[in-house]
Structure 1
Amino acid sequence: MNRRSVFRLLPLILCALGAGGAARAGSWDDVLAAARGQTVYWNAWGGDERTNRFIAWAGRELERDYGVSIAHVKLSDTAEAVTRVIAEKAAGRDADGSVDLIWINGANFLSMKEKGLLYGPFLFDLPNARYLDLSEGSAALVDFTVPTEGYESPWRLARFVLTHDSARVPDPPRSMAALLDWARAHPGRFTHPAVSNFMGATFLKQALIELTPDPAVLASEATDEVFAAATAPLWAWYDELRPLLWRQGETFPENESVLQQMLNDGEVDFAMAFDPAAAAAAVAQGLLPETVRSYAPEGGSIGNISFVAIPYNAAHREGAMVVANFLLDPATQAQAQNIEVLGSFSVLDPAKLDADARAAFAALPSSPALPGNEALGPTLNEPHPSWMVRIAEEWARRYTR
């Protein structure tokens, strides 16, 4: 029996044992039976072709093994799906909703949680959840400082990284202050995605964490008084940086994919991503030169876990649970971490994996463009969701006409 076959039997074994060792006979079997034949409308960002192909692969695997199909509803912004659920609730559509599963984080999760728009808690009913670190306060149970309380299930790990072409920039700046110095010496060779895009806002959050006098305040809601004091150094820094950006900071690439293409074309010397393996995967696909490298700033970088959530009125909640459970399968996580496939770091706790599973991860292909965990340094916690919202609004007020 091969490793994947073993992994596929584990949910049935774990279901019989139950998450806490008590018998829960038939509970997961009931979910599997109800899910068979369902099509799960997974609303997920569609701006990355690697992710799109991975979701398509997952759909084929699920259809073959569980009779569950995935219809990938490609979003340009997660808020599109949230707005749809809000509209359905306002119209009294409390069942048979159009959204079954959402790739979600941060402010969007907080909004749905506060409005009672989520089904659950369901995480602890997933057999594969036992591969997660479910201790209090673990990253698998916190989303941008907000406790998930089982209303979300992790599926991929993210870290902010800068990407550069080492042939053109052999010694890149290792802090935001150093980046400003570099930009002064190389005007027009750096930019970031539009701040209305998640990646552009994340770049500013990374700068904020480095530059603010007291990063501890970022864990709480951004009140008017606290926001002004905490962001003053950020805006002073950005006021100097903006005219040094590509096209003098008057226009910005739409997203990180466009910025990556600009790096490949030699139009700029840096790109950025929320996936440490993004550049390595792009090199493997011939989308970036082999001299490209990714790194985190000296003090570490923002990191978080991407989650999936099920709306309260999902038409196919059983199928959505089967998809969420499949995404936590060790074999699925190894497939996702393969830089030739997706290159997304695993959300699983290595201490909870058996020897075969750990060996499968150890055998994955590597690349000079792929930074190791040690090189990435510490993971910096995401600020409270309110900071991202207010930073984007304040940036627009200051720098758009």
Structure 2
Amino acid sequence: MIWSNRLMTLGLLMMVLNGCNHPSKTGIETDLLDLPFETITSKAQNTTVHMMMWQGDPLINQYMSDWVVPEVKSRFNIDLQIAPGQGTEIVKVLLSEIEAGKKNSNLDLCWINGETFFQLRQIQALFGPFTARLPNAQYIDFQNPFIGIDFQQPVDGYECPWGNVQLALICDSLRTPNPPLTMDELEKWWRKNPGKFTIPYEFTGMTLLKSWMIALAGGGNALDGPFDQKKYAMLSAKLWEFINRNKRYFWRKGETFPESVAAMHTMFVNQELDLTMSNNDSEVDNKIQQNIFPTTAKSFVLKSGTIQNSHFLGIPAQAANKAGAMTVINFLISPEAQLRKLNPKVWGDGSVLAMDKLPAEFQAQFLEVSKRKNSTMRATIQPFALKEPAPEYMVRLYEDFRKKVIEQ
């Protein structure tokens, strides 16, 4: 199960952190980081880059396999090989390599987020600081707290922003013309529509719980700063009470919870659920383009706010091909690559680039592509964006949701 794998990983992490032989710092490789980027790109020629990333969406997979892979091959003669795997799997792979004393990792590049970034930084498993060495980093909006900060952690050059998204709920405007917009309205809606809502026991579901916990704390910046155990204990108790007094109105009376958003999307399309959700605020247009969602689907956010965050690209400290990884990352944050994945027909992933830093011709193209049809415009939901709290909140929510909700 997902939770058991996660706890095994966290247990292994603690064993490494508490071990006598703490891994030495391998993040600073002066020779490579001091080279001109043209030289780094030259070193990457005719090499293979092994990347691990989540592959749960067909359009994302097509963007990478049908466009990125051939582009980096033709431009840099890099063979980009992609393997499936996300946070827990990445941490387990790099931890096992550290324990085995392996000098060259099987991975050169990883798609990560704040929880994974936190765990990998604890064991010094990431290479850096490399971001400032990327020519296209000049376009990144690092001053944006939703991009330059990852789960309250300064990225410090050890991961590079790749995309930016905000949690949104999704309904069918024909079946649910007036969706609930507050937590009070949600509670009333659940009772009037029993069985039509659930919470996925994975990243998106836990992101929703963090949004609710911030709302219960008074909203805004209530969970800013380092992890606070007393605050978590108080607010999580309110959260579990809120969920448990209503879970009998959830799908299957709250006796079980789906382990993926993809499963929720299927139930939504089959009208088993009336609400689904996504960590990507433009996914409605994306899924309509794939003929998965009905053309009447639309997204919305709660007035109490939802989490907005960025996802990142990291290079393992023991990566054998750091030059190749840096070259690929620099391409992935280029205006051309960011513009392409912003298109909902391609991916619909929010850009991390600052529009005012882009060449004029790209500014106009980004403005045109960012227009949405069924997904709420980013400018509309931005005022309701909440910053990610410290990563320990997410770690605790995974375990406590199982104990306090699933097993109750």
TM-score w.r.t. length of structure 2: 0.87
**Separation of aligned partners in 1, 2:207 and 2:278:** 9
Name 2:394's counterpart in structure 1: 388
Question: Helix, strand or coil for the counterpart of 2:291?
Answer: coil
Change (3 A) 1:250 1:25: closer
1:375 matched to 2:380:
yes
**Separation of aligned partners in 2, 1:259 and 1:173:** 18
Amino acid at match of 2:123: K
Match of 1:72 among 62, 79, 82: 82
**Separation of aligned partners in 1, 2:299 and 2:364:** 25
Match of 1:101 among 103, 109, 113: 109
**Separation of aligned partners in 1, 2:213 and 2:340:** 34
- Deviation sequence 1:205-248 (CA, Å, 0-9, x none): 11111122476452234444221112222112111221110111
Unaligned runs of 5+ in 2: 1-32
1:120 matched to 2:128:
yes
Q: Is the 8 A contact 2:167 2:307 kept in 1?
A: yes
Question: Helix, strand or coil for the counterpart of 2:393?
Answer: helix
Amino acid at match of 1:341: V
**Separation of aligned partners in 1, 2:220 and 2:287:** 33
Q: Is the 8 A contact 1:299 1:377 kept in 2?
A: no
Q: Is the 8 A contact 2:183 2:304 kept in 1?
A: no
* Mapping 1:2-401, distance limit 5 Å: 27-56=36-65, 57-75=67-85, 77-94=86-103, 96-135=104-143, 138-194=145-201, 197-213=202-218, 216-364=221-369, 366-378=371-383, 379-401=385-407
**Separation of aligned partners in 2, 1:179 and 1:252:** 18
Question: Helix, strand or coil for the counterpart of 2:257?
Answer: coil
1:201 is displaced (CA, Å) by 0.9
**Separation of aligned partners in 2, 1:215 and 1:344:** 25
1:26 is displaced (CA, Å) by 6.6
Q: Is the 8 A contact 1:292 1:369 kept in 2?
A: yes
**Separation of aligned partners in 1, 2:270 and 2:338:** 32
Question: Helix, strand or coil for the counterpart of 1:155?
Answer: strand
Question: Helix, strand or coil for the counterpart of 2:245?
Answer: helix
Question: Helix, strand or coil for the counterpart of 2:124?
Answer: coil
**Separation of aligned partners in 1, 2:231 and 2:220:** 11
Q: Is the 8 A contact 2:191 2:249 kept in 1?
A: yes
**Separation of aligned partners in 1, 2:304 and 2:235:** 18
Change (3 A) 1:299 1:224: closer
Q: Is the 8 A contact 1:339 1:366 kept in 2?
A: no
Structure 1 stretch displaced more, 299-308 or 122-131: 299-308
Amino acid at match of 2:84: K
TM-score w.r.t. length of structure 1: 0.89
Q: Percent same amino acid among aligned pairs?
A: 32
**Separation of aligned partners in 1, 2:351 and 2:141:** 12
Structure 1 stretch displaced more, 212-221 or 315-324: 212-221
RMSD: 1.8
1:257 is displaced (CA, Å) by 1.4
How many pairs are equivalent? 373
Q: Is the 8 A contact 2:46 2:79 kept in 1?
A: yes
1:400 is displaced (CA, Å) by 3.1
Q: Is the 8 A contact 1:214 1:230 kept in 2?
A: no
Change (3 A) 1:214 1:261: closer
**Separation of aligned partners in 2, 1:391 and 1:25:** 41
1:374 is displaced (CA, Å) by 2.4
Q: Is the 8 A contact 1:296 1:377 kept in 2?
A: no
Amino acid at match of 2:172: D
**Separation of aligned partners in 1, 2:322 and 2:184:** 47
**Separation of aligned partners in 2, 1:55 and 1:163:** 26
- Deviation sequence 1:183-203 (CA, Å, 0-9, x none): 011100111212xx1111111
Q: Is the 8 A contact 1:279 1:294 kept in 2?
A: yes
Q: Is the 8 A contact 1:160 1:274 kept in 2?
A: yes
**Separation of aligned partners in 1, 2:371 and 2:354:** 20
Change (3 A) 1:228 1:138: closer
Name 2:12's counterpart in structure 1: none
Structure 1 stretch displaced more, 367-376 or 184-193: 367-376
Question: Helix, strand or coil for the counterpart of 2:369?
Answer: coil
**Separation of aligned partners in 1, 2:142 and 2:235:** 32
